[in-house]
Amino acid sequence: MPTMTTLDRYVIFEALQFLTFGTLSVVGIFFATVEFKHILEMLGLFAVPVGTILTFNLLQLPTGVMYCLPAGILVSVILVLARMHDDSEIVALQAAGVSRLRIFKPLVTLGIACSIVSFAIGEHVAPRRGFFPRNCLI
């Protein structure tokens, strides 16, 4: 069984920082646009208490994460590779004899793990309706 090297830990740690930022920012954008409109409608039309609305939105968080995790991993990989390029870390690693495939291996592994997590959230945790209904054509 292959062991995790210092390079793997370094790249994964950097990617997880950006993944958290990327996913939460995309979820925040969805909550600030789509769900904010629903909050105002519920407040105006049905006079639902604010605590109930916030609980409702909190329960939709797994659905939001499920939809936004792929965008978060995309942002994460782009920012990690851009930062490593700007700091000439990729050139230094290649000069030390590390192949590009070896440099990208932790990012691919993290992408596969995020895909599995997103699928598991969609199948077992997220409610059937959220930001985008499953039968929505848009």
pLDDT digits (tens, 9 = 90+) for 82-99: 999 999 999 999 999 999
User: Which parts of the chain register pLDDT below 70?
Assistant: 1-2, 127-138
Distance in angstroms (rounded) separating the CA atoms of residues 16 and 80? 10
Distance in angstroms (rounded) separating the CA atoms of residues 126 and 29? 19
Q: What is the maximum alpha-carbon separation in the chain? A: 65
Please report, as a single letter, which amino acid is at residue 53.
I
Residue 4 has what pLDDT? 76
This prediction has a pTM of: 0.76
Residue that is written with structure tokens 């830990």 in the block: 9
Residue 136 has what pLDDT? 46
Contacts of 114 (CB under 8 A, 6+ apart): 19, 69, 70, 72, 73
Residue that is written with structure tokens 């740690």 in the block: 13
Please name which of 11, 22, 28, 27 lies closest in space to residue 89, comparing C-alpha atoms.
11
Structure tokens at 86: 């700007």
3-state secondary structure at position 87:
coil
